[in-house]
């Protein structure tokens, strides 16, 4: 039986207000300045027809799908790669020692964008931070690491945009921020989860050591309207 985790973008999009999303009955997308991801409820001709009406100026529809699927008529696949979905099964205790952790907001946006450009943790746009709590670590006043919440599903919250400035890697900042977010999510009665490409071996090992367990392999696919 399919769960919300099998189609996470769809289930994250559907409860959000119109200012963050664009929706049809069977297809939806984030607003372009929030996230590049699109979703369909199931792979039907009607869903893909509705998806086409949402493309706008985007070069492709970037989607999480439960498994590889045939390319629908009128579309062409420009990218496909498996991604591991990991769920935190046990309790986590956030460390209280180490550098101070700050909650980030709109006043920190330009620094967050600059850090995302330098660290390249994945898609991060001007309004991505509106999707949830973002935490950061500063060094001599400069933002050098961050992580935040992205997809919210019934009972689950995704941790995303885990980024550390290249000059500050190896200090455990990513682990500290991930643990701090996970502890907040668990304290709110939700279960943390995240996504990582299997070839990002170091990150996958880190999350595994923290207690995240691979639940499934999803497929990232980009479809361009032919």
Residue 87 resides in a domain: no
Residue 49, pLDDT > 90, answer yes
Non-local CB neighbours of 152 within 8 Å, separated by 6+ positions: 12, 15, 131, 132, 158
The predicted structure's pLDDT at residue 76: 97
Residue 37 lies in a domain: yes
Asked, for residue 196, whether it belongs to a domain, the answer is no
pLDDT tens for residues 108-117? 999 999 999 9
Q: Tens of pLDDT along 156-187?
A: 999 999 999 999 999 999 999 999 999 999 99
Distance spanning both ends of the chain, measured CA to CA: 33
What stretches of 120-198 show up as alpha helix (H) in DSSP? 173-187
State the pairing for strand pair 191-196/156-164.
parallel
**In-domain check, residue 193:** no
Distances (CA, A) of 75 to 10, 42, 71, 220, 225: 20, 16, 7, 15, 5
Q: Note whether residue 53 is domain-resident.
A: yes
Q: Is residue 74 part of a domain?
A: yes
User: 155 in a domain, yes or no?
Assistant: no
Residue 14's pLDDT band (cuts 50, 70, 90): very high
Residue 23 lies in a domain: yes
pLDDT band of 94, cuts 50, 70, 90: confident
- pLDDT band, very low/low/confident/very high, at 2 (cuts 50, 70, 90): low
Q: How many domains does the chain have?
A: 1
| Domain boundaries, position 46 | 4-80+221-225
The answer, as to whether pTM is greater than 0.85, is: yes
């Amino acid at each position: 039986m399919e769960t919300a985790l099998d189609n996470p973008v769809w289930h994250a999009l559907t409860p959000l207000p119109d200012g963050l999303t664009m929706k049809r009955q069977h297809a939806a997308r984030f607003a372009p300045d929030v996230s590049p991801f699109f979703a369909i409820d199931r792979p039907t001709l009607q869903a893909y027809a509705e998806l086409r009406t949402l493309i706008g100026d985007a070069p492709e529809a970037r989607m999480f799908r439960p498994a590889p699927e045939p390319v629908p008529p009128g579309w062409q696949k420009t990218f496909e790669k498996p991604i591991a979905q990991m769920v935190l099964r046990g309790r986590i205790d956030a460390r209280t020692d180490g550098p101070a952790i700050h909650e980030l907001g709109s006043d920190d946006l330009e620094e967050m964008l600059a850090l995302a450009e330098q660290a390249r943790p994945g898609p991060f746009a001007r309004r991505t931070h509106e999707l949830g709590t973002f935490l950061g670590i500063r060094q001599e006043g400069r933002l050098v690491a961050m992580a935040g919440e992205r997809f919210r599903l019934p009972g689950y919250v995704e941790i995303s945009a885990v980024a550390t400035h290249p000059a500050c890697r190896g200090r455990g900042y990513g682990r500290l921020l991930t643990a701090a977010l996970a502890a907040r999510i668990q304290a709110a009665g939700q279960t943390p989860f995240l996504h990582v490409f299997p070839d990002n071996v170091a990150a996958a090992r880190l999350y595994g050591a923290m207690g995240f367990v691979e639940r499934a392999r999803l497929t990232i696919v980009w479809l361009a309207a032919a």
